Amino acid sequence: MIDEKHLKYLSSIVTDENIYSDKAHLLAYSYDATREKFEPDAVLFPRSEDDVSAILRYCNQHHIIVVPRGAGSGFTGGALPSSGGIVLAFEKHMNKILEIDLQNMVAVVEPGVINKDLQRAVEEVGLFYPPDPASEEYSTIGGNLNENAGGMRAAKYGITKDYIMALRAVLPNGNIIRSGKRTIKDVAGYNITGILIASEGTLAVTTQITLRLIAKPLLTKTAMGIFDSVDSAMEAVYKSMASGVTPVAMEFLDQLTIKAVEHTYNIGLPTDAGAILITDVDGNLADDLDFQLAKIESVFKENGCREFKIARDKKEAEDIWFARRNASPALSVYGSKKLNEDVTVPRSALPELLKRFYAIADKYKINIPCFGHTGDGNVHTNVMVDGSDPAQVEIAYKAIVEVFEATIELGGTLSGEHGIGIAKAPYMHLAFSDEEMALFSSIKRAFDPNNILNPNKMGL
């Protein structure tokens, strides 16, 4: 707990209206999307980079823990004050788009800018910021950078890291650093930007971000393929991604997910299908989009697709996407407890990965419905059990270890987009050697020798 003297000093930095220490507000900032609960000692809303610097300098001197927070939409507990301390929140003041530089096609933003607000602002001037996590309406660019968020468009356009050109950040000792440039090329010095991306607020507090923008494609088309078997659908994924056209998105729902969505929403999905693939293509010429879709259709059909449907208008496209967008909540039909992982493998390993997941489900007699961003090898793997039954919950955690082991064996990663936080920290040893973990720890010490910034996250 921090005492009155510390609170008084911290409020002298940010002013009284930008510090909360009352019970109701502490409770409000004790959650993220994991729904774990850890109350902070105080919540501070810095007004500027100088405020962030003064706060960190003071906290470092007094060994007070600081946890940066965006919108708190993280799935792994990164923004939770799991070891106490103060939460640093950017939604109130440091939430502005500072510049859209048309000549160099970059945007400069503060960390609290909401992803979708940035997308809308740059689209108004004909530019495009592609990373589109499903949380785009509320997650922040600061949170996206610190988790390296991805979205539906990652298959073609990549993820947050592919758009970060430069940043400003405050080190735990209060000193301000800059990394990167507003240039396409920059090979001078170590890549500090690269180290800070996905660092989950454990190394420095991001205060300003320079993002690469691209030209906005004029046209998009959506299609859906229905497959008898999930195996052939997974073959179709990597073969179509390597067929010479690059779909914007290549999403999938397996049979259990299709059944859950149909049971919940009754939208006419084929519940006998083994899998559904949903794809978007984009470009500037209608002929080009038709060419891309014809190519994907032929690869799908060579790989067991029994029906290929192209949306004729926006409404039909939205109807197709409805099933995918509502997959996650529909899975509650399989149990009240969901262990939702976002493992990712090289695309060609997808058929084998899914086979292994269903074998784990059979072994433990549980359901593991899967859906997700197969275009980038990212599978949302949902181990579903009855949360009121401790024996079932124990089984779920055993199954998760096997899910991770299978993923790693196939050359994959524990997390494609949600990060490690506290939720996946116990599994880091499955993916990294002692030496690699020691290297992570020494990077952490180099930035944060007093271990005040978001400690005990990422298995560190």
Ligand X SMILES: Cc1cc2nc3c(=O)[nH]c(=O)nc-3n(C[C@H](O)[C@H](O)[C@H](O)COP(=O)(O)OP(=O)(O)OC[C@H]3O[C@@H](n4cnc5c(N)ncnc54)[C@H](O)[C@@H]3O)c2cc1C
Burial degree of 30 (CB within 10 A; 0-12, 13-18, 19+):
middle
Q: Which residue has the tokens 């109807």?
A: 319
Q: What does the block give as tokens for 427? A: 């599994």
- Show the binding pattern over residues 417-456: x = contacts ligand X (CB under 6 A), - = does not: xx-----------------------------------x--
Q: Identify which of 60, 44, 86 has the alpha carbon closest to the alpha carbon of residue 171.
A: 60
Burial degree of 393 (CB within 10 A; 0-12, 13-18, 19+):
middle
Task: Find the binding residues for ligand X in span 69-128 (CB under 6 A).
Answer: 69-75, 78-79, 90, 111
Task: Find the binding residues for ligand X in span 381-420 (CB under 6 A).
Answer: 417-418
Q: Which stretch binds ligand X (CB under 6 A): 41-49, 140-148, 217-225, 360-368?
A: 140-148
Could you tell me how far CA 327 lies from the centroid of its own chain? 17
Residue 80 CA to residue 441 CA, distance in Å, equals 20
Q: Which stretch binds ligand X (CB under 6 A): 199-207, 275-283, 287-295, 387-395?
A: 199-207
Q: Which stretch binds ligand X (CB under 6 A): 139-147, 237-245, 270-278, 285-293?
A: 139-147
CA dist list (Å): 424 to 148, 342, 385, 393: 16, 11, 19, 16
Helices 255-265/314-325 angle, 10° precision:
110
Smaller CB separation from ligand X, 122 or 196: 196
Minimal distance in Å, beta carbon 224 to ligand X? 20
Smaller CB separation from ligand X, 110 or 254: 110
Q: Which stretch binds ligand X (CB under 6 A): 37-45, 134-142, 213-221, 424-432?
A: 134-142
Q: Identify which of 223, 248, 244, 256 has the alpha carbon closest to the alpha carbon of residue 361.
A: 256
Q: Identify which of 240, 263, 285, 259 has the alpha carbon closest to the alpha carbon of residue 371.
A: 259
Smaller CB separation from ligand X, 225 or 416: 416
Helices and strands per DSSP (H, E), number in the chain? 16, 18
The residues near 108 (Cβ < 8 Å, ≥ 6 apart) are 97, 98, 99, 101, 208, 209, 210, 211
Smaller CB separation from ligand X, 135 or 407: 135
Q: Is 46 in the site for ligand X (CB under 6 A)?
A: no
Sign of CA dihedral 373, 375, 376, 377: positive
Smaller CB separation from ligand X, 78 or 130: 78
Q: Which stretch binds ligand X (CB under 6 A): 135-143, 187-195, 298-306, 350-358?
A: 135-143
Q: Is 170 in the site for ligand X (CB under 6 A)?
A: no
Residue from 179, 206, 210, 232 that binds ligand X (CB under 6 A)?
A: 206
Smaller CB separation from ligand X, 167 or 311: 167
- Coil, strand, or helix at residue 311? coil
The residues near 53 (Cβ < 8 Å, ≥ 6 apart) are 170, 174, 175, 176
The residues near 253 (Cβ < 8 Å, ≥ 6 apart) are 261, 275, 276, 278, 323, 324, 327, 371
Smaller CB separation from ligand X, 66 or 310: 66
Within 365-451, where are the H helices?
390-409, 428-431, 434-447
Minimal distance in Å, beta carbon 281 to ligand X? 20
Residue from 119, 144, 208, 407 that binds ligand X (CB under 6 A)?
A: 144
Q: Is 139 in the site for ligand X (CB under 6 A)?
A: yes
Minimal distance in Å, beta carbon 284 to ligand X? 26
Smaller CB separation from ligand X, 245 or 260: 260
Q: Which stretch binds ligand X (CB under 6 A): 66-74, 100-108, 187-195, 358-366?
A: 66-74
CA dist list (Å): 120 to 117, 125, 127: 5, 9, 9
Q: Tell me the site size for ligand X, rule CB under 6 A.
A: 35
Whether the CB-CB separation of 155 and 376 falls below 8 Å is answered with: yes
Smaller CB separation from ligand X, 33 or 443: 33
Q: Which residue has the tokens 């810095």?
A: 46
Q: What does the block give as tokens for 162? A: 């592919």
Minimal distance in Å, beta carbon 379 to ligand X? 13
Minimal distance in Å, beta carbon 445 to ligand X? 18
Residue from 26, 121, 134, 408 that binds ligand X (CB under 6 A)?
A: 134
Minimal distance in Å, beta carbon 239 to ligand X? 25
Minimal distance in Å, beta carbon 161 to ligand X? 11
Residue from 40, 46, 81, 143 that binds ligand X (CB under 6 A)?
A: 143
Residue from 40, 46, 130, 150 that binds ligand X (CB under 6 A)?
A: 150
Smaller CB separation from ligand X, 72 or 225: 72
φ, ψ (nearest 5 deg) of residue 160: -50, -45
Q: Which residues bind ligand X (CB under 6 A)?
A: 32-33, 67-75, 78-79, 90, 111, 133-135, 139-140, 142-144, 146-147, 149-151, 200-201, 205-206, 417-418, 454
